Amino acid sequence: MFCRVHALHRLVERGLKMCTRSWHVYLQRIMGFADRVCHVIPRFSEARDGPPCCLPFLSFRILSSYYPTGGSLFPSCEASRFLSILAMADIEASSSTGPSGGNPFIPPADGKCPINDLPDELLAHIFLLGTPQYSDDEDDDDIDDGNADEMDEDDEDDMDEDEEDDRRHSIEFEILVSHVCQRWRGIALDTPALWSTIDFDEEEPFPKAKTYLERSKGAPLVISVDCSETDEDEDDEKSGVENRELERWKKISELIIPHVAHWRTFELIVSDYRLMHHALSQLGRCPSAPMLEGLLLYHHDDNDDVEEFPYPHLREQNFVLFNGNTPKLSHVVLWGVHLNWAKSTFLRNLINFELHYHAFDVRPSYRDFARILKDSPDLKVLSLVASGPAGTPVDWLESITEAAEEAAAAGGSGKGKDISEAPIAAPITTLHLPSITDLSICYHEPEYILPLIERLALPNLTRLEMDFEDADFTDFINCLIAPHPVTGKPLVGGLEELCIKNLPCEKQAVADLYGAVPNLTSLNLSFYYLTEEWYHYLLDAPSSSGGSSALGNNLFLPRLTELITSGLSGAQMRLLVESRRAKGAPLKHVAMNQEDDVDEFFEEWLKNNVEQFETFEGSDDEDADEMDVEVEEDEWEDME
């Protein structure tokens, strides 16, 4: 059964109306399938003059049943939509017959290649849809798609029999399409954006990165550099590893700094802060980064001292990154990396701002913290993990008071007016931030986070993540559920998603929090740390609870449809699913940590009793089972 010209063209017309994710998957699946049958169809690159391309003649029925190794690439709802379109094309193509008698691997006798009718511009656009910036959203990666586990036995046999196939599927998409035929290669090499994602995961002298930089020309670059210690480094002398990584960074920086004018995203990961400081000083000498949108700086170490920064001589910075010229910057992640906060006025107009793991003495003052947030009127995501404004509430007030006095002095000077007579505005430490919808607050003491959360007015918050330990956070919960003086409603009143890893508190506080979020649709709980009340109150609300819901006082969270858990057994989850279904509030999507005790019986029951059941890999083990597949160097090099 073949896809003739009319079927392919109709699929293209429909595909252009589909979301980009479907086109991305379509190309990846077709190219993956073509590689799997390369022992039947001659290698495309062997032909010189318009090789007969097998792609348009493959049966859409075969393609729709094929999933690349590694599992599903897109959500089940998107898969259903995509496969329905494939089925329509299959029906249309079924009316076409040829001398092959239905063999999908033999092209039509006339040698017609419908895919060659596509213009170069459309092929180039399709190629771009296969690159990382069009991959699935990060949220989809956090929890594996349930269909990933539903693999045919034949597919498993193929994986065992053909390890080379795994290697082929690991090849970057831009490399894959550039090795199909001469025309595709020409289009790929003439599309700079196709080569704009550069990950320095190779050894010196970085030939692949150099080739990508050359081919990307002036396209906005996505650059990722990992100079952190690896498992192999654990047995080496620490000083030797640090020096080796520093030298590696120096050589990398010589390649990428000249291209800073067209960086779009820059990510640097280190284990040694001295290397990070060296990199920061280099960025401080750059005149500008006019295209930079994302700045992600990570310093991972084992230092547990939250009081003092371990490198006092590197605490102060007499420079400002990119000389403060980053007009497009919107996404900033600073993980154990501090800046010259007072002079970093380029931290403005942010959409995503994450401060993680800063010692007390290198955190921004409340004045600078407030300035960054106020100067970002469209800020959506704020994450404060073991970080935030420096000091105590008294320090915060002093910081704001100083700012008010300076503003008053500046306003009264130069016009013959006595500065001492200038009115001083009352200091206001409350921050009204209506744009923020996503807040993460983790690893704080209650005496710090309670007064801070009192000063944040977030009327449109829809997602909240919390992780605290070693203290009683009952008063903190009471603050969350109390009406805020500025907005008049609880901070958690509009929540739709709630993630809690640990939150020690009294039993009544658990019930009060559940009762304060009646519109919650998604709940993520870690029972490795949470007490049993967080589970039992999902079954039945305590009779003494003042909480209410549309279904009466005997059930919390009446709109809850998605539950994600760690540390819960299959039997406990089944009981929860049955109980809420019986009360008219059924769970539709259940995800459980793959490390939990879910045997085949309960897994099968859950699959049959919720719309979607899946398992996911816990955050602490995200990289444990990743397959390290090497790519031969000549697969990115120019063809002879």
Q: Which of 2-6, 152-156, 161-165 has the lowest mean pLDDT?
A: 2-6
Find the angle CA(164)-CA(166)-CA(171) to the nearest 5 degrees: 100
> Which pLDDT score, from 0 to 100, does residue 85 have?
46
* pLDDT higher than 80, residue 423: no
Q: What is the pLDDT of residues 252-265, one digit of tens each?
A: 999 999 999 999 99
Element spanning 562, H or E? strand 562-566
* Helices H / strands E in the chain, number of each: 21, 16
> Which pLDDT score, from 0 to 100, does residue 15 have?
43
Q: What are phi and psi of 486, to 5 degrees?
A: -85, -45
* pLDDT higher than 80, residue 301: yes
Domain edges within the chain: 5-140+158-184, 196-230+239-362
Both tokens assigned to 14: 């429909």
Residue whose entry in the numeric block shows the structure tokens 């959409």: 351
Q: Which of 93-107, 217-231, 232-246, 625-639 has the lowest mean pLDDT?
A: 625-639
Position with higher pLDDT, 548 vs 197: 197
Q: Are 602 and 574 in contact (CB under 8 A)?
A: yes
Which ranges constitute the DSSP H helices of 257-315? 273-284
Nearest to 51 by CA among 173, 185, 189: 185
* pLDDT higher than 60, residue 438: yes
Average pLDDT across the chain, whole number: 77
Nearest to 489 by CA among 411, 418, 434, 424: 434
pLDDT band at 286 (very low <50, low <70, confident <90, very high): very high
DSSP string, 153-217: HHHHHHHHH-HHHHHHHHS-HHHHHTTS-HHHHHHHHT-GGGG-EEEE-S-TT-HHHHHHHHHHT
Q: What is the pLDDT of residues 470-524, one digit of tens each?
A: 899 999 999 999 999 999 999 999 999 999 999 999 999 999 999 999 999 999 9
* pLDDT higher than 70, residue 270: yes
**541-547: which pairs have CB atoms within 8 A and are 24 or more residues apart?**
541/511, 541/514, 541/515, 542/507, 542/511, 544/508, 544/511, 545/508, 545/511, 545/512, 545/515, 546/512, 546/515, 547/511, 547/512, 547/514, 547/515, 547/516
Which ranges constitute the DSSP H helices of 327-392? 366-374
Percentage of the chain lying above the pLDDT 90 cut: 55
Percentage of the chain lying above the pLDDT 70 cut: 66
Neighbours of 47 (CB within 10 A): 13
The model's pTM: 0.77
For residue 500, the cross-strand partners are 466, 525
